[in-house]
Structure 1
Amino acid sequence: MQESIQNYISKFVNLTAEELSVVKACMQLREIPKKTMLLNAGDICNFEAYVLKGCIREYFIDHKGQELTLEFAVEDWWVSDITSFENQTPSIMYIETLEDCEILVLSRASKDELLARVPKLERMFRLMIQRHLSVLQKRLFSTVSYTAMDKFEEFLKRYPSLPQRVPQHFIASYLGITPEFLSKLRKRQMKQK
């Protein structure tokens, strides 16, 4: 557990052994079974979680009642509804485990304590938000300007192991296409190889 989060943090800042022990004390290890709802729309998100093991999906339900996948969080990624967590407002998203997961959880109180005791981590969280915003902007651009095949190829670059780990209809939902059309794209891609 400690090595994984320590490696992640070291990408952003260098911490002393004492500061790392504060991180460990503030983050709660949770083992979550597959198909567990971590957040439901209408609830206030009370966590930010670092994924040690497993796959988690963030999605919302549109006005037609269809689930639209916003993102997947796999090992070495964070998951939360940032808006709900920071503003303490009801979420419009759902967060669900797709596999058995191990996560390190920060509550609002534990995050506040962590940042008060290890101020260097403000930099890490700021850089994380910047990276997340950059990824969202790129995704928005691809959604409005890429072909379905381009989106699928970009998805495979970003999530190379996911096609073997999650149901095809979740991937189709992420890409904004039907599962049947995704199947055609996969066949076309295989012929091109």
Structure 2
Amino acid sequence: MKEFIDYLLKFGDLNEQQISCITANAVETELRKDAYFAEAGKVVRQTGFMTEGILRNYYYNSKGEEITKYFVEENNVVICKASFDNEIPATSYLQAVTDCRLIIFPKKNWEEISGTVMIWDSLMQKIISRALVRKVERISPLVSQDATTRYLEFLEHYPGLANRVPLSYIASYLGITQQSLSRIRKNIR
């Protein structure tokens, strides 16, 4: 729980009473490898904070191929914002790549915090804005760079992830085949 509170404090000040409210509404849980935090077609009724492990967000394209959109690693918020806020089905999957530990907030608990901690919505807006900026920074180069440069950028943005995530997921994220990724990795060693 300390990791999450420390994370929140980067975005604004909280007093002891506010921290107690947040802590009282949090649930620490584990998600086993391959289990889902969110599934396409289902309404997401929780949000969370990753304390250990890796999730990946993916969808299926019109050809039925899995396309990895992004990864969520330790010390990051896990949210399917449109589904969670509007109670509409998610359009992609959030699946555990490794065994994960999370602090989760069921929707009613989240609303309790929002109604009690006056700066909560402002904190969340700052966190989500930061996450969106980071996401755009990661995705933009994927469109215009060659595969080797995209892989090197991946290593820069996700240090240490290459050894924890299957190559097929990384290749999907980069928009290349697994064979191409293997050649690139071999050439840059």
So what's the TM-score if we normalise by structure 1? 0.93
Q: Secondary structure at the match of 1:122?
A: helix
Residue in 2 that maps onto 1:186: 185
How do 1:60-99 and structure 2 match up within 5 A?
Answer: 60-99=59-98
Letter in 2 for 1:4: E
So what's the TM-score if we normalise by structure 2? 0.95
Letter in 1 for 2:15: T
**Counterparts of 1:186 and 1:53 in 2: how far apart (Å)?**
26
Q: Does 1:46 align with 2:45?
A: yes
**Counterparts of 2:173 and 2:55 in 1: how far apart (Å)?**
13
State, as a whole percentage, how many aligned pairs show the same letter: 30
Q: Secondary structure at the match of 1:164?
A: coil
Letter in 2 for 1:73: V
How far has the Cα of 1:131 moved from its partner?
1.2
CA contact (8 A) 1:13 1:121 kept: no
Unaligned runs of 5+ in 1: none
Residue in 2 that maps onto 1:110: 109
CA contact (8 A) 1:31 1:102 kept: yes
Q: Secondary structure at the match of 2:43?
A: coil
Unaligned runs of 5+ in 2: none
**Counterparts of 2:27 and 2:107 in 1: how far apart (Å)?**
12
How many pairs are equivalent? Answer: 189
**Counterparts of 2:64 and 2:148 in 1: how far apart (Å)?**
26
Bigger mean CA deviation after superposition, 57-66 or 80-89 = 80-89
Q: Does 1:17 align with 2:16?
A: yes
Q: Secondary structure at the match of 1:163?
A: coil
- Post-superposition Cα deviations, 1:42-90, rounded to whole Å, max 9, x if no partner, equal 1011111100111111100111111111111111011222111112111
How far has the Cα of 1:154 moved from its partner?
1.2
Aligned CA RMSD, in angstroms, stands at 1.2
How far has the Cα of 1:20 moved from its partner?
0.8
Residue in 1 that maps onto 2:120: 121
Structure 1 stretches (4+) deviating beyond 4 angstroms? none
How far has the Cα of 1:187 moved from its partner?
1.5
Q: Does 1:153 align with 2:152?
A: yes
How far has the Cα of 1:107 moved from its partner?
2.0
**Counterparts of 2:140 and 2:163 in 1: how far apart (Å)?**
26
